[in-house]
Chain A
Amino acid sequence: MLPIILLSVFGIVLLFMGFLKSKVLLLPATLVFILAALATTFMDWGKTYLYFQNMLLTNNLAILFTTIVLLSAFMVVALSNSFIEDEQAQPAEYYALLLFSLVGAIMMISFENLIMLFVGVEILSVAMYVLAGSDKHSPRSNEAALKYFLMGAFATGIMLFGIALLYGATGTFVVSGIKSYVYTNAYGVSLLLYMGIILLLIGMLFKVSAAPFHFWTPDVYDGTPGLFTAFMSTVVKTAGFAALFRVLSVSFVGVYSFWWGTLAALTCLTLLIGNVTAVYQTSFKRMMAYSSISHAGYLLIGLTALGTQTKQALVFYSLAYSLATISAFGVLLVVSRQRQDTNGVNENFDAFNGLARQNPLLGFVMAVSMLSLAGIPLTAGFWGKFMIFTTAADKGIYWILVFAVLMSTVGIYYYFRVIIAMYFREGAAEPVKVAPFYRYVLIAATILTLVLGLAPGLLEGLV
């Protein structure tokens, strides 16, 4: 569990590095810190360990999720070179908060005690509230911060009440202790346990923005500065699903028949709302918010059809989703900054008009990421969806499968709007410039997406 300690210390170091005159060192230092944490994560590979008085448990699954989270954070930080030029920005504090929120994410991924789940959720969320409002003078950013904060704290309250009821029913906060309670009392499980499961699930579904608890997502994603939206929609979502998976697959697997029906209904609602509303958006960033809701729906299918394949499907899907989302936001950041209209940055679909002709590289990166999000073959997104759908088929829940396939065809429509704008519309003539390092990160993400699309077996057998 060295990464948690390292990231906390590095975060404090970064805060104090902010007092240095020059800001040049901050970005490379943060990248090195994240890489160091990533390297130490693998020290526990292949073993199962309990850490900190049985509070955290690491296994291969936790390590893989941690890797995805750290990789996403690495790419987001690498795309943040614009802070150096911005007079208003406080890069040292942003980076420190990002590292602190990674600590929270790792705790959410590898908790063994529900106390750690709560503390992890809070460390992640409190850092994100601040980052959502980091553009202090923009009313949109302010509004996003307040909405995120109020809704996040509300969700935490509901989750805590669920945990308290679970404690009342089982007398323990330990995940495996709850599991053994459920198995020993298979026929006389207390009503408190059922209430606790429902409230805990509501709280967690709030955090991963599943319908009908999604209503804050579009506003918050839209108002938050683009870079932090990318972080939110990848790291927070991956960590949230890792936590949901652990609690459902270990503690509550004994009462599967109780929760799977509700979860299946919420899954369908999430898919429907996410995909259908995304069609009507004019802002690309808002479309990505609804797209992230719909991807939460696909990931929920894996949890609804909980089985032996679920782990692998979740890992693959979150990796594919994170890669595609970060490269999409990376392109959006460059384009919106250089094609400003009267309202400041232009984050609408028409900002992408003719992009493929002026800058073929950016066009290609964006096209691959949209294809991957839509789930077109030869990209990682296709195999992610394939594995998720396989879990549902294995469990025999075919109606959800049919519905999900239908919804992903709706998804193709709005993802292709971007591609059409880039390749077939006439746009502004001035070329879009990209810094070299920025370009390498985007290229790396695209290559990874394509490699995983061509050889999905690379991750097989790891979990």
Chain B
Amino acid sequence: MNASYLPSDYLPVLIQLGLALGFIITTMIVTHSIGPKRKSQKKDDPFECGIPVEGDARTPISIKYFLIAILFVLFDVEVIFLYPWAVNFKGLGVTGFIEMVLFMGLLLAGFYYIIRKGVLKWE
């Protein structure tokens, strides 16, 4: 493929940008001008049906969610080491398999530790 682009090659991008912006602006103006407007207490609530709203979105969430989130990030990211191994499974052979079993064993040891510590107990 050719690596050098002329400025005119970017014209489609500009047209696309203009179209996208134009569509958004037009729809916003049109809906505001032709739609009927009725205002009431119920209408202005964030949720029209369901339980009444309490406080704002900045209320602290239970710390349990946070712990689960941290653990998820940890275990989730360690899985990336499985990808190169899976791609190269045949080439790495038995040695690779043993090493991966060791790696997963260490992760499982950590997981068992978490359970014993009671981190995942919800109540």
Contacts and interface: CB of A to CB of B under 8 A. Distances in A.
Is the pairing of A and B real? yes
Interface of A: 12, 15-16, 19
A12 B109 contact: yes
A16 B113 CA distance: 7
Q: Could you say which of B106, B113, B116 has the most chain A C-beta atoms within 10 Å of its C-beta? A: B113
A214 B113 CA distance: 37
Interface of B: 106, 109, 113, 116
A368 to B, nearest CB: 42
5 contacts: A12-B106, A12-B109, A15-B113, A16-B116, A19-B116
Contacts of A15: 113
Contacts of B109: 12
A16 B116 CA distance: 9
A15 B117 CA distance: 10
Nearest to B109: A12
A13 to B, nearest CB: 10
A19 B106 CA distance: 18
A90 to B, nearest CB: 10
Contacts of B116: 16, 19
Of all A-B residue pairs in the complex, the 6 with the closest CB atoms, nearest first, are A12-B109, A15-B113, A19-B116, A16-B113, A12-B106, A16-B116
Nearest to A8: B106
Contacts of B106: 12
B118 to A, nearest CB: 11
Nearest to B116: A19
A36 B116 CA distance: 28
A16 B109 CA distance: 9
Nearest to A16: B113
Contacts of B113: 15-16
Contacts of A12: 106, 109
A76 B85 CA distance: 40
A123 B113 CA distance: 19
A15 B113 CA distance: 8
Contacts of A19: 116
B114 to A, nearest CB: 11
Nearest to B113: A15
B93 to A, nearest CB: 15
A428 B92 CA distance: 69
A15 B116 CA distance: 11
A449 B116 CA distance: 44
A12 B107 CA distance: 11
A97 to B, nearest CB: 13
